[in-house]
Amino acid sequence: MGSVTVPLPVDELAVLRVRRSAKWRTYPPDVLPLTIAEMDFALAEPITEVLREAVSRSDTGYAMPAPELGEAVAMFAQARWGWPVEPDSVTGVTDVSTGCVQLLRACCRPGEAVVISPPVYPPFFDWVAEAGARLIEAPLRQDGSGIWRLDLDALRDAFGARPAAYILCSPHNPVGRVHDRDELEVVAQLAHEYGVRVISDEIHAPLVLEGAAFTPFLTVPGAADIAVSLTSASKAWNLAGLKCAAIVTGSPAMRAFAGQLPPDGRWRIGHFGVLATVAALTAGQPWLDALLATLEIRRRQLGNLIAARIPDIRWQPPQATYLAWLDCRHIGRGEQPCEKFLSRGRVALEPGPRFGPPGSGFVRLNFGTSGAVLAEAIERMAAALG
């Protein structure tokens, strides 16, 4: 773990509130924002160093992703997951959102369908529309223990309608599920059987917590022929504003598919994004390990706080991410729980219905913050119900 301290430090609230990012500018100052997927931890030192150095040299021009970005992605994938990636099979893109929309445009003819599995990251719905495609929902299902899993029967039914693509969220936001290898094997088999492209959004992959193991989709037998992976350092190292992500392919067919993206795209990647991503992937692993240890502490703290203060909330601790998907259906349906926590408790959370119909009565809580903020948020949420 090197010399990085655990838990990772977080500035005082008054200092956090000076940040100008979306999380801190959306609500009035009396509201605690536990919403959008940005974290409150101080940046990793290798990242601050590379950015400071670039600013000091007025090195603020266009990005030059190759060859360092591909080499860094390959190095990290091998070190973290034993996944061999060819550096030149990596294509830089502005962000995961842009990459996904462009991939959908490249594989969908007008009016063709794309499958997603709600509850899921809300922009998935918008990306499909933006690409001019039709949406088919194959919702997750909750098993007997309350764990949200891919519903492989629903996926088979959806693939039977011959969609052009499936956007796999792996790990899955908002439920924090790390899909099992055997589940992913079935997804790959179904995709082959029905001729469906899989776009595997793996942005949360570095954020797999203790007790779970991530399977890169392209390492599943047959997947590399029909799937591409989208990856980024933006969630794990908090770099969303810097604009850099990567498409990874593992076969000539998928390399040709990714090759259809607009060539001008390389000029739309953030220079700071590339610098910070390369620093994160090559020198940011000790910090990432400290982050995961910190999130483990917060995940346990959240469980204890919920049990002690709002025991009616049901949840399954996430296997990945710093996002908790809380079942508040005893409080109300639709967005009612979220509205109550905001209006009476002054705590902002993401309303479950934004993630699709299965999200009615749920909220998503971001615990990528200090123990003090988390404790204060749960206290306020409990008071809101009093």
User: How big is the site for ligand PLP, counted in residues (CB under 6 A)?
Assistant: 13
The yes or no reply on residue 41 touching ligand PLP (CB under 6 A) is no
Residue from 35, 234, 360, 366 touching ligand PLP (CB under 6 A): that is 234
Residue from 40, 95, 327, 335 touching ligand PLP (CB under 6 A): that is 95
Stated as kind and residue range, the H or E segment containing 384 is helix 371-385
The residues, ordered by sequence, that sit 6+ positions from 48 with a Cβ below 8 Å of its Cβ are none
Nearest to 167 by CA among 137, 144, 210, 193: 137
Residue from 117, 219, 231, 232 touching ligand PLP (CB under 6 A): that is 232
Residue from 4, 16, 34, 37 touching ligand PLP (CB under 6 A): that is 37
Q: How does DSSP classify residue 2?
A: T
Residue number, 279 or 310, with CB nearest to ligand PLP: 279
Residue number, 173 or 249, with CB nearest to ligand PLP: 173
Residue number, 228 or 240, with CB nearest to ligand PLP: 240
Nearest to 298 by CA among 372, 371, 208, 204: 371
Distinct helix (H) and strand (E) counts, the chain = 13, 14
Q: Which stretch binds ligand PLP (CB under 6 A): 81-89, 92-100, 212-220, 326-334?
A: 92-100
Binding mask 128-167 for ligand PLP (x = CB under 6 A): ----------------------------------------
Residue number, 32 or 199, with CB nearest to ligand PLP: 199
Residue from 8, 50, 96, 107 touching ligand PLP (CB under 6 A): that is 96
Residue number, 249 or 321, with CB nearest to ligand PLP: 321
**Window 239-268: residues binding ligand PLP (CB under 6 A):** 240, 245
Nearest to 95 by CA among 349, 268, 249: 268
Residue from 72, 203, 247, 347 touching ligand PLP (CB under 6 A): that is 203
Nearest to 244 by CA among 263, 272, 223: 272
Stated as kind and residue range, the H or E segment containing 92 is strand 90-93
CB of 37 to ligand PLP, least distance (A): 4
The yes or no reply on residue 183 touching ligand PLP (CB under 6 A) is no
The yes or no reply on residue 201 touching ligand PLP (CB under 6 A) is yes
Angle, helix 152-160 to helix 181-194, in steps of 10 degrees: 10
The yes or no reply on residue 350 touching ligand PLP (CB under 6 A) is no
CB of 96 to ligand PLP, least distance (A): 3
DSSP string, 10-40: B--HHHHTT--SHHHHSS-TTSEE--SS---
The yes or no reply on residue 169 touching ligand PLP (CB under 6 A) is yes
Residue from 35, 97, 277, 294 touching ligand PLP (CB under 6 A): that is 97
Residue number, 83 or 121, with CB nearest to ligand PLP: 121
Answer whether 169's CB lies under 8 Å from 123's CB.
no
Residue from 121, 159, 166, 214 touching ligand PLP (CB under 6 A): that is 121
CB of 240 to ligand PLP, least distance (A): 5
Q: Which residues, listed in sequence order, are joined to residue 199 by a DSSP beta bridge?
A: 167, 228
The yes or no reply on residue 85 touching ligand PLP (CB under 6 A) is no
CB of 241 to ligand PLP, least distance (A): 9
Q: Which stretch binds ligand PLP (CB under 6 A): 149-157, 232-240, 284-292, 371-379?
A: 232-240
Beta strand segments in 266-383, E: 323-327, 347-348, 350-351, 362-366
Tokens representing 224 are: 């590399």
In angstroms, the CA 27 to CA 40 distance is 16
Answer whether 249's CB lies under 8 Å from 43's CB.
no
Answer whether 301's CB lies under 8 Å from 375's CB.
yes
Answer whether 233's CB lies under 8 Å from 239's CB.
yes
Answer whether 230's CB lies under 8 Å from 219's CB.
no
Residues that bind ligand PLP (CB under 6 A): 37, 95-97, 121, 169, 173, 201, 203, 232, 234, 240, 245
